[in-house]
Chains A and B, each alone.
Chain A
């Protein structure tokens, strides 16, 4: 049995190695969540528009993203973005773009279910009051769809937070990378992986407990 020694994890080591990666993981999660929900809502509206020239590309995009492993999507964007913009791009920026566009596909499925959970009568009522499509969606349907789907959107965000560790594939400096480098430099890989796992667990578990409480408080509206 090997003796575990966590004493090397001093505040200086933590602020030197871990904090930088932690901040990037949080940034990546938040930007991809906000961007993903906005783009995802647009994709959902396209798919529900009933116009084939909007439905087909949106459905194609969502289904393609959802059937490719995230690691491959990360690699694809890391390869393609420099070809498109004509200059190399840092792994961190590439990761932010990739996750925003990738998560949009998953958030769009959630928002689509959310919009479909609102009864048609409400849309009809909006039009009957003389509201435009934009007003009906923006003032009546989307706020309620968003409210109904809030727990699911947050659960997806927890998955997103866990998935940010996959930027390992392109070497971006995230939370896991911070622990890995600290483990290599102090020759304590076992301890650092354990602490990393514990930290991810504590964050994801407490967030999922919060979502569960939220779920009980939010009444679904139709």
Chain B
């Protein structure tokens, strides 16, 4: 096997010449520049999809615990729909099918479509966690809230959700890390993120191992940093006297 050649990252992406300092200036782009911008795309897709997933997943999870049968059904259908179709197929649906069927969406950039696709896919999993978190609370809490004269939304806002979210921080953490991993699927619709960089740079430079190692390392670092951040949040919001954030 040939020896390492990390200089590959200092090469210009067009003429393949090694650029001193590794960062191309004035219109030149090195593989290192490209790698970092790809990392940025991965993080942007993941972060925005996480926002979508948290918002819709929480809403659907809450609906599934309400006393209204219609809302429960809506939440259940949503969850089963987005959970039982492979992510890649969902991304293709958003990219190829939805803009054709709904003409106003035709001009939407693929970045947004991938964010929606990944966000809705993950919202189904978050909805499961939110539902489980709310249902793990003692039933008396809901009744106590309603007996105090809170409306149902107030009971959720002030009694149920503050505890439920603390309980589900650990599974939410792993779901957030999954989003970073799952964002790799965006390569299939030509988002210039880490996996697409890996595929293309490997082809252009034939330095697959170095390229893949760098990309894998960045995925690793991103997921690890997120894990630490969530652990920090978990410790900050811990209710005194309770065992940890969840204890499962």
Q: How far apart are the CA atoms of A208 and B101 in the complex, in Å?
A: 30
For B216, the chain A residues whose CB sits under 8 A away are 68, 72, 76
How many Å from the CB of B214 to the closest CB on chain A? Answer: 11
Q: How far apart are the CA atoms of A68 and B220 in the complex, in Å?
A: 7
Stretch at the interface among B13-21, B139-147, B163-171, B184-192: B184-192
Inter-chain contact A83/B1, CB cutoff 8 Å: yes
Q: Does B176 sit at the interface, judged by CB under 8 A?
A: no
Q: Which DSSP category, helix, strand, loop or mixed, fits chain B's interface?
A: helix
How many Å from the CB of B35 to the closest CB on chain A? Answer: 14
Q: Which DSSP category, helix, strand, loop or mixed, fits chain A's interface?
A: helix
- CB neighbors of B among A158-180 (8 A): 162-163, 165-166, 168-169, 176
Q: How far apart are the CA atoms of A76 and B217 in the complex, in Å?
A: 13
- Sorting the interface of chain A by its residue count into under 10, 10 to 19, 20 to 34 or 35 or more gives 20 to 34
Inter-chain contact A194/B1, CB cutoff 8 Å: no
Inter-chain contact B97/A75, CB cutoff 8 Å: no
Stretch at the interface among B81-89, B149-157, B231-239: B81-89
For B93, the chain A residues whose CB sits under 8 A away are 193-194, 197
For B1, the chain A residues whose CB sits under 8 A away are 83
Inter-chain contact A176/B202, CB cutoff 8 Å: no
How many Å from the CB of B199 to the closest CB on chain A? Answer: 7
- CB neighbors of A among B172-198 (8 A): 177, 180-185, 187-188, 195, 198
Question: Provided the pairs A68-B219, A69-B184, A79-B209 are in contact, do residues A200 and B202 lie with their beta carbons within 8 angstroms?
Answer: no
Inter-chain contact A200/B85, CB cutoff 8 Å: yes
How many Å from the CB of B155 to the closest CB on chain A? Answer: 29
Q: How far apart are the CA atoms of A204 and B219 in the complex, in Å?
A: 29
| Chain A residue at minimal CB-CB distance from B213 | A76
Inter-chain contact B198/A72, CB cutoff 8 Å: yes
Q: Mark A64-93, 1 if CB is under 8 A from B, else 0.
A: 000111111001100110010000000000
- A sample of 27 cross-chain residue pairs with beta-carbon separation below 8 angstroms, ordered by A number, consists of A2-B100, A67-B220, A69-B184, A69-B219, A71-B187, A72-B184, A72-B215, A79-B202, A162-B84, A162-B86, A163-B86, A165-B88, A168-B88, A169-B187, A169-B199, A193-B93, A193-B96, A194-B97, A197-B89, A197-B90, A197-B93, A200-B85, A200-B86, A204-B83, A204-B84, A204-B85, A205-B84
By Cβ-Cβ distance, the 5 closest A-B pairs, closest first, are A204-B84, A69-B184, A162-B86, A69-B181, A165-B86
Q: Does A126 sit at the interface, judged by CB under 8 A?
A: no
| Chain B residue at minimal CB-CB distance from A68 | B216
Q: Mark A31-68, 1 if CB is under 8 A from B, else 0.
A: 00000000000000000000000000000000000011
